[in-house]
Amino acid sequence: MTSRRAAVFAIDLIHGTGFLNRWSHKSGIISPPFSLFSSKAFQPKQPRIDFSCVKELNDAIGLFQKMKSMQPEPSVRMYNNLLSVTAKIEEYSFALYMFDEMLRMGVPVDVYTMNIAVNCCCLLKDIKSGFAIMGLFFKSGCEPNVTTFNTLIKGLFLNHKVAEAGKLFNKLLRFRICEPDGCYDFGDGKWALYIRENVLPARDLVRRLERSRSRLDVKAYSALLDGLRKSGMVDDALQLLSAMIEKGITPNVVTYNSMIQGLCDLGRLEDVKVLVNEMSNSNISLDVVTFSILIDAYCKERKMEEAEDLLKTMKQHNICPDVVTYNTLIDGYCLRGEIDKARQVLDSMVDKGLKPNIVSYNCLLNGYCRKGRIDEAWLHFLEFPCKGLEHDTCTYTTMIHGLFSERRFSEGWKLFKDMEARRVTPNIYTYSTLLDGLCRNGETDEALSFLHTIEGKGVDLDRVTYGAVINGLCKNGKLDVARDLFNQLPSRGVLPNARMYTMIIDALCHEGSTEEAQCLLTEMQSHGCAPTSVTYNIMTRSFLKKKELSKAIPYLEVMREKGLSADVSTLSMLIDQMQGKTKDDVLLKLMKDVLPKDFPS
């Protein structure tokens, strides 16, 4: 199969049989009849043209009209220069009009002309016309080059046809249409987009490229590594990092930052230290992103002293903390409830010439709300416009949640109405907060009605949202309604998790229906959902309340086997029931085994 036939075949597989014919006479792009290789003789002496004067559309129009009347007629190279300049000023439609006119005039256009035209189609998100133009050149014996295919692949990405871009990429490899050394551009974000949406096919693609004579660069591996860790495949990403190094490809700071982020997200700080040492041994300097990731990890662990030490180290290495770094510290102090320190960090940003952003103020707002300092939170909320910031979805949701936490439900709903009036779009967390507020206020019928309204808007709700309603129904004595909603979840595309099962089990136990609770626990396990410490504690207490110690013991034994702990309420009930009874060494040992690690001896 010739390269030209292979290319047509590869593209046909993506766009369907006969796509060339379908787009050959697209109005406004190509106007037949035309001649790609005109026999018209061009004079050797060419006029001199200053293309630097083309700054806007009118300049391009004027120069094109002038060129059409020039004698001797300008060469295709000159027309290509004008096409290129016009595309650079982002007048893609006029560039395509000129291309159309060149064909009509019989200018012997070349591959360079075609590539500009295809690129303009792609930038206008008219990918089908881009393929049609390339198809016309196939018909006329002019073969596209590496740039053409790169452009089309980018065009598919711009049109969000990520899977089709991957297919075309694979076809080019399979039929060896392009030289592997130059066909792939991994540095412009399109490859990263492909990986993010197709991480496993992307990994297979990289393996195929490795088996060919392609030499992938650090950008290609870094993008794949980043895709793997974002998909939760952190250990696979670590293996890829080792494979890179074995192949003699030196990871850069971007590679390590992605890997460090993945490990920090899992709390694997010891593994992070290993990577940081690797960077040091390879003379790869930590940058502001690295430090920000590490500081964030310590802040999430509420280890603010270590985070502050890292900040000092950062400054000692002449690396200036940015807004992201300071936002991390603000959030960390808020998590520890040290709002005044968080405020000091925000003020220090301003002193250092950094402008706090919406995230900075949202973090502080969340801190005030978490501490129950709602009046201060409200004053802070009102400060936003004075700082040149508009309240976003996160701002409103945080403030509404804070008001609901203090049982100021009417104020929270009033704020939601203001949010709608200002056309700030609620997200799933906003809806979950509102539903939880209704349930906590005992308005379960209103919560169900609001839930149906949200579903009617086509919002994809998750376990948190449904969990808020189920929990509210259970707490308000509407177990049957809660179970109906629980049973409907799979048909709504949501599989119940351990927390949801535990809510229903708790409600059943509260009503004294321990046998039903046991059946649901069995169903939970059969569906691959592992009960938690909370679940087992609820079951244990339900039997202890009935003075049925013998039925509670098996659950304590399961907790011991699974390394789970009994909570204070369970232990207190156990101790009460053991008083006045004959000493049971086996039971005492069982109790000791399920004691929490931090339980005072």
pLDDT in tens, 100-128: 898 888 888 888 888 899 999 988 888 88
Query: How large a percentage of the chain has pLDDT more than 90?
Result: 44
**More confident of the two residues 62 and 504:** 504
195, part of any domain: yes
Model confidence at 518, pLDDT cuts 50, 70, 90, reads: very high
Which range of 134-143, 223-232, 324-333 scores highest in mean pLDDT? It is 324-333
pLDDT of residue 214: 58
Q: Which residues contact 235 (CB under 8 A, 6 or more apart)?
A: none
Same domain, 17 and 158: yes
Inform me whether the pLDDT recorded for 487 exceeds 80. yes
First-last CA distance in the chain: 80
d(CA 191, CA 363): 33
Would you say 50 and 59 are in contact if contact means Cβ atoms under 8 Å apart?
no
Same domain, 43 and 178: yes
Structural tokens at position 510 = 């509260």
Helical pair 444-456 and 428-440, crossing angle rounded to 10 deg: 160
Model confidence at 213, pLDDT cuts 50, 70, 90, reads: low
Q: What is the torsion angle, in degrees rounded to the nearest 10, for the CA atoms of residue 167, residue 88, residue 223 and residue 285?
A: 170
Which range of 64-68, 133-137, 203-207, 418-422 scores highest in mean pLDDT? It is 418-422
The pTM of the full predicted model, rounded to 2 decimals, is 0.66
- Domain stop point among 285, 307, 325: 285
pLDDT in tens, 318-375: 998 999 999 999 999 999 999 999 999 999 999 988 999 999 999 999 999 999 999 9
Model confidence at 13, pLDDT cuts 50, 70, 90, reads: very low
**More confident of the two residues 440 and 224:** 440
170, part of any domain: yes
Helical pair 533-545 and 549-562, crossing angle rounded to 10 deg: 170
Model confidence at 45, pLDDT cuts 50, 70, 90, reads: low
pLDDT in tens, 266-316: 989 889 999 999 998 889 999 999 999 999 999 998 999 999 999 999 989
Helix, strand, coil % (nearest 5) of the chain?
Answer: 70, 0, 30
Model confidence at 581, pLDDT cuts 50, 70, 90, reads: low
d(CA 176, CA 166): 15
Q: What is the DSSP letter of 321?
A: P
Inform me whether the pLDDT recorded for 29 exceeds 60. no
Same domain, 227 and 169: no
Inform me whether the pLDDT recorded for 41 exceeds 80. no
pLDDT in tens, 426-482: 999 999 999 999 999 999 999 999 999 999 988 888 999 999 999 999 999 999 999
467, part of any domain: no
- Domain stop point among 154, 183, 212: 183
40, part of any domain: yes
Distances in Å between the Cα of 256 and the Cα atoms of 217, 259, 269, 278, 466 are 15, 5, 14, 9, 38
pLDDT of residue 305: 92
Same domain, 219 and 159: no
Same domain, 70 and 209: no
pLDDT of residue 169: 74
d(CA 361, CA 380): 8
Inform me whether the pLDDT recorded for 7 exceeds 70. no
- Nearest CA-CA partner of 95 in 127, 123, 53: 123
Q: Give the length of the chain.
A: 601
Inform me whether the pLDDT recorded for 225 exceeds 60. yes
Same domain, 225 and 268: yes
Which range of 58-62, 121-125, 226-230, 367-371 scores highest in mean pLDDT? It is 367-371
pLDDT of residue 188: 53
**More confident of the two residues 534 and 179:** 534
468, part of any domain: no
pLDDT of residue 480: 94
d(CA 416, CA 410): 10
Same domain, 52 and 147: yes
**Mean pLDDT value of segment 495-514:** 93
Same domain, 193 and 168: no
Same domain, 146 and 13: yes
Would you say 541 and 547 are in contact if contact means Cβ atoms under 8 Å apart?
no
Question: What's 26's domain CATH number?
Answer: 1.25.40
Count other C-beta atoms under 10 Å from residue 16's C-beta: 9
**Count of the separate structural domains present in the chain:** 2
pLDDT of residue 247: 83
**More confident of the two residues 329 and 131:** 329
pLDDT of residue 262: 92
**Mean pLDDT value of segment 141-170:** 77
Inform me whether the pLDDT recorded for 422 exceeds 60. yes
Helix, strand, or coil (residue 477): coil
Average pLDDT of the chain, as a whole number: 83
Inform me whether the pLDDT recorded for 32 exceeds 60. no
371, part of any domain: no
pLDDT of residue 508: 94
- Domain stop point among 285, 300, 319: 285
pLDDT of residue 533: 92
Domain that holds residue 242: 185-285
Same domain, 158 and 17: yes
Same domain, 179 and 194: no
Same domain, 215 and 242: yes
573, part of any domain: no
Distances in Å between the Cα of 520 and the Cα atoms of 506, 534, 538, 552 are 11, 15, 13, 17
Model confidence at 550, pLDDT cuts 50, 70, 90, reads: confident
227, part of any domain: yes
Q: What is the DSSP letter of 45?
A: S
Q: Which residue's structure tokens are 């590496």?
A: 146
